[in-house]
A = this chain, B = another copy of it.
Amino acid sequence: MLLSKMVGERSKENPSDITIKSHATMMRGGYMKQVANGIYSLLPPAKRIATKIERIIREEMDKIEGQEVLFPVVMPRELWEESGRFDSIGGEMVRFTDRNDKGMVLGMTHEEAAVHMARNTVSSYQQMPFMIYQIQTKFRDEKRARGGLIRVREFTMKDGYSFHISQEDLDKYYDRCFAAYERIFSRIGMKNFISVKADSGMMGGSVSHEFMLLTEIGEDTIAICDDCGYRANMEVADCILNTFDYGTDCASEEVFTGDAKEISQVCEMLSIASENTIKAVSFAIKDDTEKSCLVFLRGDLEVNEAKVKKIVQGEILPSDLSSSELVAGNIGPIGLSLKNTVMLFDESLQGAVNMVCGANKADFHIKGVNIARDLDVKKFVNVSKAIDNAICPICKTSHITLKNGIEIGNIFQLGTKYSSAMKMTVLDQNGKAVTPIMGCYGIGVGRAMASVAEENVDDRGIVWPMSIAPWQVSLCPLKVNQESVKLASDTLYSDLQNAGVEVLYDDRNASPGFKFADAELIGAPIRLVISPRSLETNEVEVAFRNGAEKEMVAIENILSYVQEKIATAMAELNK
């Protein structure tokens, strides 16, 4: 590729309105262009990277017997009604009516399409297990797109769906897919990634894992125990609190707290720790005007909404207390009896004494509350967010740390949610009709690209791993207007290309600084410089984007030298 003809503009300065460094760098490097909020066009460098990531994904999917197919982007509403998700998914799914007045949706995931393809076309256990996957455009109408390609509305995704006759068979395949995902991330050059136990969200099903790139810019929080290896997304992370001295158990009594409504205000007024308080958080349940939900937990903790959703089996929203009998800022569990309200008590309250809670009347709290003595809690549930330094719920000895991460892939055991709703059966070994058990497996291509960029960005551009670099080599002749330089460079360009090496040839008559800046932005791992001086000794200067020592290599050896460097780097990533 001649850089002089390449579409895209590179600039010296990162755009000032973008906070994520890799995003800013990709924008100033002419990798992509924003068309609308969360919608981008990919220019040649980003498209080339995406193609390479897709190729690696495809190879790994094919290794675990994935069958590549193609589902539609636009699907009929009926298909989503069969699974029940036409109603259960919110505004993030685009719905429209076609010119024949049929309801249509834009695919944001393809479980329904996968079952549609497989039912009636797979009829016997002998064809199982099988996995079908596609690499295709998806659209999710996210409220908040952010971080360039990290959270977009339109994106290319590999999504795979496996079908099994038994749970054991799914377990086995799930593990193979898990391993394939680890290979994919390693091969595209991702370093600091982990897998974590995750919430299945709108997919349904039970077991699921997310692959996370650990990075400060990540939107997800992960609880990690370095000792036993426990890793879980905050949405599902359990939490065992450290021992806390609640103080002496005493009789309960009302206390005037006036305007003190927030936990912090109450603590200050009564000179107590937030651990000694009972926090109340109220939620409305979506599409259920009859019922609401009230959560009690220890005052230093936050409610884990994902866990509450699971318990109430519906979407929850912060509730408006103005029309309720509850006194905002003074809500407490003692003596409280509410109709049509699910009351949840978090495990953090179990056994606590000497606690302060709202008295259910303005200006008053109750102190000296002993949970076991003063309340009749039938069941404590786990609805609080894990906190940094809590005891690991698995090994129960070490402590967990919270880290930020970007979700780079996820795998789910779906059970029979879709196959059963959509009435897919196959005949088993005994000729009996059974409902297949499914798994599903996703990776976003653009997000993978952005994540590798985030891990490999420096002030000058992106240090792309050899496996997904848009070009393997930047060829930067200096003083290209000199005949000898031009001739040697043209020859080398054509030799490299004929040997299958991917070269970005900076054929412009520009200053070294200008050329090097562009080469570093685009980040080919190897940079070759031919100059009048290097030609004096018939040599090429080789520089490496990762900072390794420069070398001078004889022109007659440069092709094999470059090929070897590429092969070594690829072997390192593939091992």
Residues of A within 8 A of B (CB): 1, 4-9, 30, 33, 35-37, 39-44, 46-48, 50-51, 65, 67-76, 79, 91-92, 94-96, 98-100, 102, 104, 106, 113, 116-118, 120-123, 126-128, 130, 132, 134, 136-137, 139, 141, 143, 153-154, 156
Contacts and interface: CB of A to CB of B under 8 A. Distances in A.
B74 A47 contact: no
B136 A7 contact: no
Contact of A36 (B76, B118, B136): B76
B139 A137 contact: no
Contact of A69 (B42, B106, B130): B42
A70 B79 CA distance: 29
9 contacts: A7-B67, A7-B118, A7-B132, A33-B117, A35-B79, A41-B71, A42-B69, A43-B121, A46-B70
Contact of A5 (B7, B42, B76, B130): B130
Contacts of A92: 99
Nearest to A134: B47
A5 B122 CA distance: 9
Contact of A139 (B50, B73, B141): B73
A98 B94 contact: yes
A37 B100 contact: yes
B72 A47 contact: no
A121 B8 contact: yes
A446 to B, nearest CB: 9
Contact of A35 (B72, B130, B137): B72
A71 B98 CA distance: 23
A170 to B, nearest CB: 16
A41 B5 contact: no
Given A7-B117, A33-B121, 14 more contacts: A5-B67, A6-B130, A7-B69, A7-B132, A30-B121, A37-B100, A39-B76, A41-B69, A43-B121, A44-B67, A74-B154, A92-B99, A98-B153, A99-B141
Main secondary structure of the interface of A (DSSP, over half): mixed
A215 B421 CA distance: 44
A95 B99 CA distance: 10
A41 to B, nearest CB: 5
B73 A47 contact: no
Given A4-B126, A5-B127, A121-B9, A41 B154 contact: no
Contact of A33 (B35, B50, B116): B116
Contacts of A67: 1, 5-7, 44
Given A98-B141, A132-B7, A73 B73 contact: yes
B39 A74 contact: yes
Nearest to A112: B35
A4 B123 CA distance: 11
A118 B8 CA distance: 7
A39 B156 CA distance: 19
A99 B106 contact: no
A38 to B, nearest CB: 10
B47 A68 contact: yes
A496 to B, nearest CB: 16
Contacts of A126: 4
B136 A35 contact: no
Nearest to A91: B99
A130 B36 contact: no
B36 A120 contact: no
A7 B154 contact: no
A40 B42 CA distance: 26
Contact of A44 (B40, B68, B116): B68
A448 B571 CA distance: 38
> Which 3 pairs between the two chains have the least Cβ-Cβ distance?
A42-B70, A36-B76, A96-B96
Given A47-B70, A72-B35, A136-B137, A120 B40 contact: no
Contacts of A113: 35, 41
A69 B44 contact: yes
A96 B99 contact: no
A121 B7 contact: yes
